[in-house]
Structure 1
């Protein structure tokens, strides 16, 4: 069987595009629209397999899968030296539960299953749970419908760097331990608008004019995808003091009237997929051309 027809299935960025957000006052901005940067590549339709019940099958691994630490070009699913331009780095290869239905679940359900399964190995790979505060994001790959019908149940947990359009960009070098210590700021997420005002999440390079900066110290919320999501008020009670402490550590000084604190929280769909974290931000009224890190009491940069 060809590698492409068997291995290339659905490629989805498991990015938590959360839209409810709040500033230092606890009023939530819940009317924003969510636009996940999904890029789906579907193979030719596989032969109908009939029953959707879980059979007793021997799970078959796909041939030629890359291993953790290898890099790839998503377009052709080919391994490549990480020193060469690539769009995905493999954090881990795992197996999906054997009891899943004979017919592959719909994409939304697959994304829910894979995001939860990939969260820990990806955090371990990049060296931090702060990935949601960066331009690095999980990118999960699972078997095509044809491969699924042949009892493949592998799961590739990868890491991609997203560009301004939230699509993986070509990069060189490894992101293993990329979020440990100072290297975090090489991938820090900066936004063109305040998170309170933005209806969709966009990135801009932090060295270019921007109004918001994501802070290290992503806050995991209690509970999992099968538990009820906390209310906005409950999340705000947890996020307020956590983000205030993160702001003080980041700015290196006391509170300032010209730098606003805000945070973004999951929506219900994000929660059901296992996205259960809050990302804190500092933002300014006018764009700044460099990071606010360690600004203390100095004037805002132009």
Structure 2
């Protein structure tokens, strides 16, 4: 999910160029899930000197996060026929789109395999438009697969795959909706086990997004394990904003009116108590470009001035974990 309200005019061009390096089947982390920008913060956001926090610019997914595929490699994406696609529940190694047992190390799990609209043009749309289309198409099946709409508050992110230019010319219109767990550098990590229903109840915390910096201050999205030193924790209870990608995006004041009370409730439920001067509340919002891709959620965060060594979940009025 893209965060914040500060735009970067050439970001879409950079993203399209990055993904266009794939010569055949294209797998990309949904931009709606991995762009970090400004956060809106409540008045109690702590700063070292009491100054107002200036929202940072958004950060793009680095090119290194794309699957590395050798041109012409046997079994690579360009030679996967429509009738040889994986099925929901399969696990894959992204580097060569190779299926493996989910008990073995893998980098993507398939949530659903579907068909794109037959009304799409004969010539395949550009990569940024394909990203927009596939992000929207995969949002619901991915949420159903993990059992929750809270995926934007986790290290799990959609990874969509669609036909190559050659496959498109042969009338292939399949769509693979996958999931990857991102590491600290936003690159999919190798993992074992399935993520089916992974966000139902307590398992959410196995994938909860924790950041090394305050969500309202950082200009770079990085993840750290929540049991290691960190400053920000994403809260369960991701909030969908009203409207879809073809509707006007709500204005900043309307979003704040919706987000503020929701995030206040999410914070109270998470911390198990009232407001604290040493724990601040902030939230991420989509940028207009990401809204057009289907990103329409608000993610709430709690953050601290100094690093903490463990989760703030249920802390109540106890001291911050060291």
Would the TM-score normalized by the shorter structure come out above 0.5?
Answer: yes
**Residues 279-299 of structure 1, C-alpha deviations (whole Å, 9 max, x = no match):** 000000000111000000000
Query: Taking structure 1 as reference, are residues 263 and 28 closer, same or farther at Cα in structure 2, changes over 3 Å only?
Result: farther
Residue aligning to 1:259: 279
Query: Taking structure 1 as reference, are residues 275 and 28 closer, same or farther at Cα in structure 2, changes over 3 Å only?
Result: farther
Matches within 5 A, 1:281-292: 281-292=301-312
Query: Taking structure 1 as reference, are residues 108 and 42 closer, same or farther at Cα in structure 2, changes over 3 Å only?
Result: farther
**Residues 180-239 of structure 1, C-alpha deviations (whole Å, 9 max, x = no match):** 000000000000100110112111111110000000000000000011111111111110
Q: Does 1:96 align with 2:116?
A: yes
**In the alignment, is the contact (CA less than 8 A) between 2:234 and 2:299 conserved in 1?**
yes
Q: Does 1:39 align with 2:57?
A: no
Query: Taking structure 1 as reference, are residues 179 and 225 closer, same or farther at Cα in structure 2, changes over 3 Å only?
Result: same
**Residues 59-88 of structure 1, C-alpha deviations (whole Å, 9 max, x = no match):** xx7021010001000111111100000000
Deviation at 1:33, TM superposition (A): 2.5
**In the alignment, is the contact (CA less than 8 A) between 1:191 and 1:213 conserved in 2?**
yes
- Paired with 2:318 and 2:204, the residues of 1 have a C-alpha distance of 23
Matches within 5 A, 1:13-32: 13-16=29-32, 17-25=35-43, 30-32=55-57
- Paired with 1:146 and 1:29, the residues of 2 have a C-alpha distance of 46
Residue aligning to 2:100: 80
Name the count of aligned residue pairs. 281
Deviation at 1:43, TM superposition (A): 8.9
**In the alignment, is the contact (CA less than 8 A) between 1:10 and 1:141 conserved in 2?**
yes
Structure 2 stretches lacking a partner, 5+ long = 1-22, 45-51, 73-80
- Paired with 1:206 and 1:293, the residues of 2 have a C-alpha distance of 11
Residue aligning to 2:232: 212
Query: Taking structure 1 as reference, are residues 10 and 220 closer, same or farther at Cα in structure 2, changes over 3 Å only?
Result: same
Matches within 5 A, 1:1-302: 8-16=24-32, 17-25=35-43, 30-37=55-62, 39=66, 62-302=82-322
Query: Taking structure 1 as reference, are residues 40 and 80 closer, same or farther at Cα in structure 2, changes over 3 Å only?
Result: closer
Query: Taking structure 1 as reference, are residues 19 and 190 closer, same or farther at Cα in structure 2, changes over 3 Å only?
Result: same
Deviation at 1:157, TM superposition (A): 0.3
- Paired with 1:36 and 1:239, the residues of 2 have a C-alpha distance of 26
The RMSD of aligned alpha carbons is: 2.0
- Paired with 2:126 and 2:31, the residues of 1 have a C-alpha distance of 18
Deviation at 1:39, TM superposition (A): 1.8
TM-score scaled by length of structure 1:
0.89
Structure 1 stretches lacking a partner, 5+ long = 1-6, 46-60
**In the alignment, is the contact (CA less than 8 A) between 1:92 and 1:122 conserved in 2?**
yes
Query: Taking structure 1 as reference, are residues 300 and 208 closer, same or farther at Cα in structure 2, changes over 3 Å only?
Result: same
